[in-house]
Structure 1
Amino acid sequence: MREHEAAVRALRQTVADLHTELTRYDLVTWTAGNVSARVPGADLMVIKPSGVSYDDLGPESMVVTDLHGELVEGDFAPSSDTAAHAYVYRHMPEVGGVVHTHSSYATAWAARGEPIPCVLTMIADEFGGDIPVGPFAMIGDDSIGRGIVETLRENRSSAVLMRSHGPFTVGKDARAAVKAAVMLEDVAKTVHFAYQLGTPEPIDRASVDRLHERYQNVYGQ
């Protein structure tokens, strides 16, 4: 742990700051939701504590666990979703950040158990196709994590709608996972509105592939 002290200290600040993005974009209610980040080069992660108000979340309140969810450092119990985050990190080494929210529109799709169809270029850009639904799983052990991994391994999406629960997003780091959560809620809302007007037309697969490739590898600075 000592050799990773600087990285952990920086990630405590980053993860605390990123939780303000969840409230800024209205993705969470009360103390629900969480952001975590993998500690580079170590079998550790930094995650939000359980049941602590967002107003009280600072770097000092973040907790450090191993990748089996066991507390390593911190004054609070880790999030109730820690086992799910830990399972994702153990089985998806390319993932550096995980986010869970109960954002209203994305969670509504999860309640229906229905994928969000790829009918918008933004969905193709960020998620590379339909946003998939994962299985129903109980909270408390790694069942949710197993469902996330099994679903995302079959998709290139950075988001999964866990049935009757809510969305989880992943990214190369915690900021990328938060970005995916923000974009997920935006497209979930827009597609919901589109269905009120009729049945939106899916984008053809070849165009989805081109859009996703451009956004992931060319877009931006």
Structure 2
Amino acid sequence: MNGDKRVIEELRESVCRLHAELVRYDLVAWTAGNISGRVPGADLFVIKPSGVSYDDLTPESIVVCDLSGDLVEGSLAPSSDTAAHAYVYRHMPEVNGVVHTHSTYASAWAARGEPIPCVLTAMADEFGGEIPVGPFALIGGDDIGRGIVETLTGHRSRAVLMRNHGVFTIGESPKAAVKAAVMCEDVARTVHVARQLGAPAPIAPDDVDSLYDRYQNVYGQRSHR
């Protein structure tokens, strides 16, 4: 197996720990959902094993796969979404983390096949516009990955609602992809509530651009990014 073993072990520990955030923010039920992270400097990634309880996850149970989605290290079968993650890593070299959830409100938009409109400054900040809908695709092959890449390539959103399925998010790190999944569910819920009260007011495109630029390039402690 190529790749620095110390780096891989640290990534397994980090990805294992990040799965607790999916539970903390109520983004997953039972064993559904997963997080993966690309191994720096190697054609490998680590991912949650299939069907394992979040309470039972350990760094050692996180498996290592190559970019074809084949198991390289680990005693458990990889997630059923492994081929989709592998496809994303092969075709989006800037992506180092992928997250999948069936979070309730965002998945409800996916069930309707409807993008989440950009009607909140938090959406403009994080996603730079609407959260788009990707095509319907069956689980197990790389069709889901193909849909993610086709939908998000050239799009500022780091989240996609795969039709009739759920949420996939990407990021420059696994933690960034988890943040996108948390924020996706948060805005999906808020916009749903807003629509119960009436028609949400859209934000002008120029203002969306301005908000996105400020959040991405000015907000926060820059030295820590």
TM (norm. structure 1) is 0.99
Counterparts of 1:3 and 1:199 in 2: how far apart (Å)?
52
The one-letter code sitting in structure 1 at the alignment partner of 2:202 is P
Counterparts of 1:60 and 1:77 in 2: how far apart (Å)?
13
Counterparts of 1:91 and 1:167 in 2: how far apart (Å)?
19
Q: Give SS of 1:37's match.
A: strand
Displacement, 1:4? 1.4
Note the alpha carbon deviations across 1:157-176, whole angstroms, 9 max, x for none: 00000000000000000000
Q: Which residue pairs with 1:175 in the alignment?
A: 175
Is the CA contact 2:3–2:41 (under 8 Å) kept in the aligned structure 1? Answer: no
Counterparts of 1:169 and 1:36 in 2: how far apart (Å)?
11
Which runs of 5 or more residues in structure 2 are unaligned? none
Residue 79 (structure 1) aligned with residue 83 (structure 2): no
Q: Which residue pairs with 1:106 in the alignment?
A: 106
Counterparts of 1:3 and 1:207 in 2: how far apart (Å)?
44
Quickly say closer, same or farther: Cα 1:206–1:28, change in 2 above 3 A: same
Note the alpha carbon deviations across 1:70-92, whole angstroms, 9 max, x for none: 00000100000000000000000
Q: Which residue pairs with 2:57 in the alignment?
A: 57
Displacement, 1:153? 0.7
Counterparts of 1:81 and 1:18 in 2: how far apart (Å)?
17
Note the alpha carbon deviations across 1:131-177, whole angstroms, 9 max, x for none: 00000000000000000000001411000000000000000000000
Aligned runs of 1:62-211 on 2, under 5 Å?
62-211=62-211
Is the CA contact 2:2–2:42 (under 8 Å) kept in the aligned structure 1? Answer: no
Displacement, 1:2? 5.4
The one-letter code sitting in structure 1 at the alignment partner of 2:212 is H
Counterparts of 1:91 and 1:107 in 2: how far apart (Å)?
25
Runs in 1 of length 4+ with deviation above 3 angstroms? none
Note the alpha carbon deviations across 1:12-50, whole angstroms, 9 max, x for none: 000000000000000000000000000011100000000
Is the CA contact 2:46–2:62 (under 8 Å) kept in the aligned structure 1? Answer: yes
Counterparts of 2:156 and 2:176 in 1: how far apart (Å)?
15
Question: How many residues are paired up?
Answer: 221
Counterparts of 1:152 and 1:96 in 2: how far apart (Å)?
15
Counterparts of 1:89 and 1:217 in 2: how far apart (Å)?
25
Quickly say closer, same or farther: Cα 1:3–1:193, change in 2 above 3 A: closer
Q: Give SS of 2:4's match.
A: helix
Q: Give SS of 2:45's match.
A: strand
Counterparts of 2:154 and 2:172 in 1: how far apart (Å)?
18
Q: Give SS of 2:203's match.
A: coil
Counterparts of 2:138 and 2:194 in 1: how far apart (Å)?
32
Q: Give SS of 1:187's match.
A: helix
Q: Give SS of 1:35's match.
A: strand
Q: Which residue pairs with 1:19 in the alignment?
A: 19
The one-letter code sitting in structure 1 at the alignment partner of 2:149 is V
Q: Which residue pairs with 1:34 in the alignment?
A: 34
